[in-house]
Amino acid sequence: MSGIEEQLSRTLGHAAEQAPRLAAPAAERLETGYRRRRQRSQALLAAAAVVVLAGGTVVGLRTVGDTKALPAIGPSEVPSAMISAATTTKPIEKLWPQAVWKMPVEDSQGRELHPVALTDDGKLLVKAWREVEEPEVLYLYDLAGGDLRKIADIATSKKTGVAMGFSMGEGVVAWWTSAKASARLWTVPLTGGEARQVAEHKTGDDMIDSLAVAKGAIVFSLGKGGVFSVPAGGGQVTPIDRGTDLHLLSWPWAGSPGSWSPKDGAPFTHLVNLETGQTSDAAPARQGEKLLACGVGSCLSTMGNGARAFTRGRDGSEQQEVPTGYQIPEPPSQSRFYVRNLRSDAPGLGLYDLKTGALADLGIGDEASQGEVPVADRAGRMMTYRIKSDRYVIDLSRIP
């Protein structure tokens, strides 16, 4: 097993905020195991993510517990070409210094720090933990000044459940916990305070698959479909009419199929704007093509045997070739960036910019035993990963 393959067993921890969830008992067991194993990836354990590695190897990781497994994509269906060995690369902090920060991996009490989301004023929402039995802590981290400001303690127990799906907006942080076939919704002001349960929603054996704060409300969708809303200050959970059977992608957009419905086709080929009712249906794959996944602005596809990969706008326009290799089958973040091999003749991962052709060295190679494979947050704005004693935070929106 190569160094990068080994990293996959312990990385992508921050992608847990984007991953689908298991039935309640399995979810609690999985969260407990994840936190004990530190850098292992809940996303990979929970969601059967399909990853293409250097050399064209395909790993199909299965779900655990009593949930269904996703089929791995076959070697003939994934990209295999590499960027030329002559491609010039620079360390990411030198190529895009205005977009890269380093921060500690632990707070003063030895709790691990895991970035959740960026604010517009240079702050970073961070969650921290040390042991399963201890409360989690929410912080705001000042990227420029390096200061941590505590927001709240978040108790975790069999009674309260494990905190998941953190999101922020309009001055509050929101998340959910699962207990006794219900999802409990919580908030705390960004200025700090005591966490408060604002609602409870019966889910049976289903779980929340996405959550956001918008228009003074917590908006969420369920794994089996359906988008719901509850006032951030507390109140009754109500279904959003336009969100029936849909999955929240990025407010105000929701769509189908959901991220983990492979039998129904590529995720989010159909979108609905929950505010205006506008719909967007992705152009179907052409003869000999395979549509892999869609975002708000574009879709990722491959040709036949996977020798070529490309993106297109949802309307089928603006096709652009994607140099292939290691990649996660999802549209490039900001319609520009994705993580891939640096070269076919050397270990390491880079961040490739489709707009300029630049390839940044992330510093993740076989020698970086504590390295993580970065994946963008749900908003497609932030990437973060750890290398030894440093955690890198990349604000993709600051790259010109």
CATH assignment of 3-398?
Answer: 2.130.10
User: If 0-12 CB within 10 Å is exposed, 13-18 middle and 19+ buried, where does residue 5 land?
Assistant: middle
| Distance set, CA 167 to CA 18, 200, 259 (Å) | 11, 17, 18
In the chain, where does DSSP find H-type helix?
Answer: 3-8, 24-36, 42-47, 92-95
For residue 136, the surrounding DSSP H or E stretch is strand 136-142
Q: Measured between alpha carbons, how far is 203 from 184 in angstroms, rounded to an integer?
A: 10
Query: Closest Cα partner for 95 from 352, 308, 384, 397?
Result: 352
Beta strand pairing status for 390-395 and 382-387?
antiparallel
Indicate the SS3 state at residue 29: helix
Instruction: Give the pLDDT of residue 21.
Output: 30
Any idea how long the chain is? 400
Beta strand pairing status for 100-103 and 390-395?
antiparallel
Domain residue extents for the chain: 3-398
Instruction: Give the pLDDT of residue 47.
Output: 27
Q: CA geometry: angle at 328 spanning 324 and 331, to 5°?
A: 85
Q: Which of 106-114's residues contact partners 24+ apart within 8 Å by CB, and which partners?
A: 107/137, 107/139, 107/148, 111/137, 112/38, 113/139, 113/141, 113/391, 114/13, 114/14
Beta strand pairing status for 148-154 and 164-169?
unpaired
User: If 0-12 CB within 10 Å is exposed, 13-18 middle and 19+ buried, where does residue 51 land?
Assistant: buried
User: If 0-12 CB within 10 Å is exposed, 13-18 middle and 19+ buried, where does residue 32 land?
Assistant: middle
Instruction: Give the pLDDT of residue 264.
Output: 67
Q: Measured between alpha carbons, how far is 127 from 16 in angstroms, rounded to an integer?
A: 12
Q: What is the pTM of this model?
A: 0.77
Q: Measured between alpha carbons, how far is 140 from 46 in angstroms, rounded to an integer?
A: 28
Q: Give the sign of the dihedral formed by CA 57, CA 312, CA 225, CA 180.
A: positive
Instruction: Give the pLDDT of residue 98.
Output: 95
Query: Closest Cα partner for 118 from 141, 144, 149, 146?
Result: 141
Indicate the SS3 state at residue 138: strand
Q: Measured between alpha carbons, how far is 331 from 4 in angstroms, rounded to an integer?
A: 22
| Distance set, CA 363 to CA 30, 36, 82, 370 (Å) | 29, 26, 19, 11
Q: Give the sign of the dihedral formed by CA 291, CA 400, CA 341, CA 33.
A: negative
Question: DSSP for 77-127?
Answer: GS------TT--EEEHHHHSGGGEEEE-SB-TTSPEEEEEEE-TTSEEEEE
Instruction: Give the pLDDT of residue 320.
Output: 86
Instruction: Give the pLDDT of residue 155.
Output: 78
Can you give the pLDDT of all 400 residues of the chain as single tens digits? 344 433 333 333 333 333 333 333 333 333 333 333 222 232 322 222 333 332 332 222 222 222 233 333 333 333 334 455 555 689 999 999 999 999 999 998 889 999 999 988 889 999 998 766 678 899 999 998 899 999 999 877 767 678 889 999 989 999 999 878 889 999 999 999 999 999 999 999 899 999 999 999 999 999 999 999 999 999 999 999 999 999 999 999 999 999 876 566 889 999 999 999 999 999 999 888 989 889 999 999 988 666 688 889 999 998 888 876 656 677 888 888 988 878 766 678 889 998 888 999 998 876 444 456 787 887 789 999 988 888 999 999 999 9
Instruction: Give the pLDDT of residue 371.
Output: 54
Instruction: Give the pLDDT of residue 93.
Output: 94
DSSP state of 62: P
CB within 8 Å of 377: residues ≥ 6 apart: 14, 17, 18, 116, 117, 383
